[in-house]
Amino acid sequence: MILPYPLLWITVILPMLLGIIAWPLRSRPGLHAMFYLSAASLIIPLIIVIYGYASGTLEAGSLVDPLYFNLTRYSVGTIALGIDGLSAPVIIGLSIVTSFVVIYSIKYMETRISEMEESGERPPGLGTYLLLYNIFAATMLGLAYSTNLVEFYVFLEGSLISSFLLIAFYGYGDRRRISLLYFVWTHIGAVVFLTGALYLGYLTHSFDYLTLLNGQLVSVGSVEYIGSAATLIAALLLFGLFVKMAVFGVHMWLPYAHAEAPTPISALLSPNLIGLAGYAIARFVIPLFPTQMESWRDFLLGLAFTTIIYAGLVALRQTDFKRFLAYSSISQMGYMLLGLATLNEYGIMGAMLIYLSHAIGKALLFMSAGVFITEAHGLRDITKMGGLARRYPLVAALALFGFMNLVGLPPSIGMWSEIYVVLGIVKSLLFINLVTMFGLSLLLIVALTITAAYSFITMRRVFYGQPRSKIEARERVDGFKLAMLAVAVFGVVFFLAINPLTTGLSAAISHVVLLSGFGGGQ
């Protein structure tokens, strides 16, 4: 369905324009108004997706923006924006989290900037923060809308540069070194991805995903069209996305960057940005290179379990709350990769639902950490916490809901994502030998147990038991915490309204699976 207006381009451009307007402002009421306007602009994609589900469009097809750029003459293809059943859960997660985190940012960033000024620093003001935040949020939306590999790369670099500056300007610790570490690692990933994309475009004369999937590649026997280069191109794309996704072996940058970023940015980096790499694997790599992905399935399954278990065990050892959350994000990306590695409808559906559940759950947890950093004199050491549920009952309840999303307990989207990933694993196991079935089943049980352990042990250490430090602050329900509550409410709503999401996902993934010529184990 063609949208009547270029709404998707508006959702990308409008937040940036609001950020530019806010940049020179010095008036506190004026800046606050711009923050709320930015939140309103970032919730528009959610409204568009809801309209798509209500009209039945996302269950049968896609929403396409009428404004596009035809660069076929230059071998680039068409630059367009669209939403389908595969990208809809991703856009829902992005819209909800970016919209309410910008409201949450008001109090947090005012406190952070005041702390920096009191220590003798001269950080950029709140207007600069909003400009960079809106660019970051808008470019992530652009990544989810993209239908062209070059377009995807442009938005990828936009999200990298804006988030790099946010860490460098407003982060903690040795923020300039850490922001540079983050920039170098993730830029390497982006460049490797671009190299694979350029090689593919050179051989096929197009970077347009829809053309490649429905035309040139599939019609001539999939990747055989590009011959022996297919394996190299697939490896380059996959490795670049693995760096962005922070799977085991290329994860070293994430604990530093996400732990020392200002907490509102951590709430976007960890659940939203890194998960977009998993979405790109489902969108580009699996459908365009099914033969290579199927031959690498055992390796991908092993890498996924290694990521889940390694990062989960390291998370258990952490004493810094934000660093714990960073390692748990790596572990959650292992689950996303696990779903993708099944190469069947159930597993890929589970992976996309993990994106949504992780976006909601991890945003709530980072926002909970930010409450204590702001209101309890920078408290983030878990060994000095304990008993905080007595002083912060609402935050404790919201953090518990965040952990429930990670573990997969109702009423969280995490329950549905876990069910579909397990179904994907079961479907894959039906066609392999008994020993491998037993081994993978055992690994799955271990992985789920470790996830539950680090979630609820940390919940107990932070919020229950005897207080381990004298904290005078008490909970006051304000916009800071109401923004968190809104994220949780949307999480429950989509837990209940799961049918449109799964129907749209099923339609989109089934189309890709049929075109790609594999059945994920069948």
In whole angstroms, give the CA distance from residue 145 to residue 67: 13
Is the confidence at residue 500, as pLDDT, over 70? yes
Is the confidence at residue 222, as pLDDT, over 50? no
- 8 Å CB contact between 134 and 15: yes
In whole angstroms, give the CA distance from residue 489 to residue 430: 38
Query: Which one, of 32, 41, 175, 166, lies nearest residue 104 by Cα?
Result: 32
346-350-352 Cα angle (round to 5): 120
Residue 179 identity (one-letter amino acid): S
Is the confidence at residue 69, as pLDDT, over 80? yes
- 8 Å CB contact between 357 and 395: no
In whole angstroms, give the CA distance from residue 471 to residue 263: 20
Residues in the chain: 522
- pLDDT one-digit tens code per residue, 112-137: 999 999 998 999 999 999 999 999 99
Q: What does pLDDT average to over the chain?
A: 90
- 8 Å CB contact between 457 and 403: no
Tokens (6 digits) for 198: 């350029």
Is the confidence at residue 15, as pLDDT, over 80? yes
| DSSP calls for 105-150 | HHHHHHHHHHHHHHTT-----HHHHHHHHHHHHHHHHHHHHB-BHH
- 8 Å CB contact between 450 and 313: yes
Q: What pLDDT does 47 receive?
A: 96
- pLDDT one-digit tens code per residue, 437-458: 788 889 999 999 999 999 999 9
Q: What pLDDT does 473 receive?
A: 73
| Residue 476 neighbours by CB distance under 10 Å | 10
Is the confidence at residue 65, as pLDDT, over 90? no
Query: Which one, of 286, 274, 288, 289, lies nearest residue 340 by Cα?
Result: 286
- pLDDT one-digit tens code per residue, 293-333: 999 999 999 999 999 999 999 999 999 999 999 999 999 99
Among 220-224, 271-275, 408-412, name the most confident range.
408-412
Tokens (6 digits) for 492: 């429950």
**Dihedrals φ, ψ of 288, to 5°?**
-85, -25
- 8 Å CB contact between 254 and 324: no
Q: What pLDDT does 10 receive?
A: 96
Is the confidence at residue 82, as pLDDT, over 80? yes
Dihedral angle at the C-alpha atoms of 231, 234, 237, 239, nearest 10 degrees? -70
**Dihedrals φ, ψ of 407, to 5°?**
-80, -30
Q: Where are the alpha helices (DSSP H) in 342-392?
A: 345-375, 388-391
Query: Which one, of 143, 101, 117, lies nearest residue 369 by Cα?
Result: 101
Residue 486 — pLDDT band, cuts 50, 70, 90?
very high
> What SS3 state is found at 487?
helix
Count how many Cα atoms sit within 13 Å of the Cα of residue 210 in the half-sphere of its side chain: 16
Using alpha carbons, list the distances in angstroms from residue 340 to 104, 449, 519, 520.
33, 21, 13, 10
- pLDDT one-digit tens code per residue, 134-170: 999 999 999 999 999 999 999 999 999 999 999 999 9
Tokens (6 digits) for 183: 């920039």
> What SS3 state is found at 501?
helix
In whole angstroms, give the CA distance from residue 151 to residue 159: 13
Q: Give the chain's largest Cα–Cα span.
A: 69
Is the confidence at residue 271, as pLDDT, over 70? yes
Rg of the Cα atoms in the chain: 22
Residue 479 identity (one-letter amino acid): G
Percent of all residues in the chain with a pLDDT value above 90, rounded to a whole number: 75
In whole angstroms, give the CA distance from residue 137 to residue 371: 22
Q: What pLDDT does 223 receive?
A: 45
Residue 229 — pLDDT band, cuts 50, 70, 90?
confident
- Provide mean pLDDT across the span 457-477: 86
Q: What pLDDT does 219 receive?
A: 39
Looking at residue 282, the DSSP 8-state letter turns out to be I
Is the confidence at residue 476, as pLDDT, over 60? yes
Question: What residue ranges in 361-502 does DSSP mark as E strands?
Answer: none
Tokens (6 digits) for 16: 């940036």
Is the confidence at residue 480, as pLDDT, over 70? yes
Residue 374 identity (one-letter amino acid): T
Residue 522 — pLDDT band, cuts 50, 70, 90?
very low
pTM of structure:
0.94
More confident residue, 270 or 516: 270
Question: Which region among 15-29, 368-382, 470-484 has the lowest average model confidence (pLDDT)?
Answer: 470-484
Question: Which region among 178-192, 259-273, 471-485, 490-504 has the lowest average model confidence (pLDDT)?
Answer: 471-485
Looking at residue 251, the DSSP 8-state letter turns out to be -
In whole angstroms, give the CA distance from residue 177 to residue 171: 11
- Provide mean pLDDT across the span 425-435: 76
- pLDDT one-digit tens code per residue, 346-360: 999 999 999 999 999
Chain center to CA of 492: 19
